[in-house]
Amino acid sequence: MKYLLRFLSIFFLLASCGSSKTTNVKLEADYTIAFGSCNREDEDQPLWEPILANDPDLFLWGGDNVYADTDDPEVLEKAYQQQLSNPNYLKLLNSVPVFGTWDDHDYGQNDGGKNWHLKETSQQLFLDFMNVPENSPRRSREGVYHSELLETEQGSIKVIILDTRYFRDTLQKSNEPGKRYEPSEGSILGEQQ
Ligand SMILES: [Fe+2]
């Protein structure tokens, strides 16, 4: 597990918002937001103890939340179940809101993009893992991007969480030894996102 900030996937906009669309998340004046990503569900996860010790108000998954790398939905579901049985992760989950996005290894395919054939099933399993209600609009739209509005005493924070897998055009493989891909034109976020 690495403590990585995935700036491409998660943006914060500090704003004074007049919107009526808010979550139930209210942050203290002196709030702490914790991040995590690149998490092997089948290995020790020493990160939760220091995260819990820092008493965060919110936790954001930056992707590769499990390493399933599979086109078998059962294997992917089992990986999520294994993560959900980690006692320290459960402690966090039961104490603060948890939002986030996926990356390739929980999407199901290393470096996968828009042509991943399991993406629709994978999306539903991801939303199950994130405890998104069955009647949420996120269940019926493509991709796992979303935003959350958090209230603080100083104003609102809009957390915009991007999906850089579901819509991403195919990467161009490189013939150069040691180089995996060439820069190429295309979309990462897709039209609607
Ligand atoms: Fe990744």
106 CA distance to ligand 1 centroid (A)?
8
- C-beta of residue 80 within 8 angstroms of C-beta of residue 66: yes
Does the structure show a pLDDT above 80 at 130? Answer: yes
The pLDDT of residue 1: 39
Residue 10 pLDDT level (bands cut at 50, 70, 90): low
181 CA distance to ligand 1 centroid (A)?
15
Structural domain count, the chain: 1
| 2 is a domain residue | no
The pLDDT of residue 62: 97
| 188 is a domain residue | no
| 93 is a domain residue | yes
Q: What mean pLDDT do residues 72-88 have?
A: 98
Least confidently predicted of 6-10, 108-112, 188-192: 6-10
67 CA distance to ligand 1 centroid (A)?
9
8 CA distance to ligand 1 centroid (A)?
12
- C-beta of residue 115 within 8 angstroms of C-beta of residue 170: yes
132 CA distance to ligand 1 centroid (A)?
22
| 140 is a domain residue | yes
40 CA distance to ligand 1 centroid (A)?
12
| 189 is a domain residue | no
Structure-model confidence comparison of residues 61 and 14, the more confident one: 61
Does the structure show a pLDDT above 70 at 174? Answer: yes
Q: What is the CATH number of the domain that holds 174?
A: 3.60.21.70
Does the structure show a pLDDT above 70 at 149? Answer: yes
Q: What mean pLDDT do residues 18-45 have?
A: 81
| 130 is a domain residue | yes
Of residues 153, 163, 152, 154, the one with CA closest to residue 187: 163
Pairing of strands 98-100, 58-61: parallel
Q: Which domain holds residue 65?
A: 10-182
The pLDDT of residue 27: 87
Structure-model confidence comparison of residues 9 and 163, the more confident one: 163
192 CA distance to ligand 1 centroid (A)?
23
135 CA distance to ligand 1 centroid (A)?
29
Sequential DSSP letters for 101-159: ---HHHHTSTT--TT-TTHHHHHHHHHHHTT--TTSGGGTSSSS-EEEEEEETTEEEEE
| 190 is a domain residue | no
**Across all residues in the chain, what is the average pLDDT?**
90
152 CA distance to ligand 1 centroid (A)?
32
111 CA distance to ligand 1 centroid (A)?
7
Structure-model confidence comparison of residues 2 and 184, the more confident one: 184
The pLDDT of residue 52: 98
Q: How far apart are CA 11 and CA 90, in angstroms?
A: 25
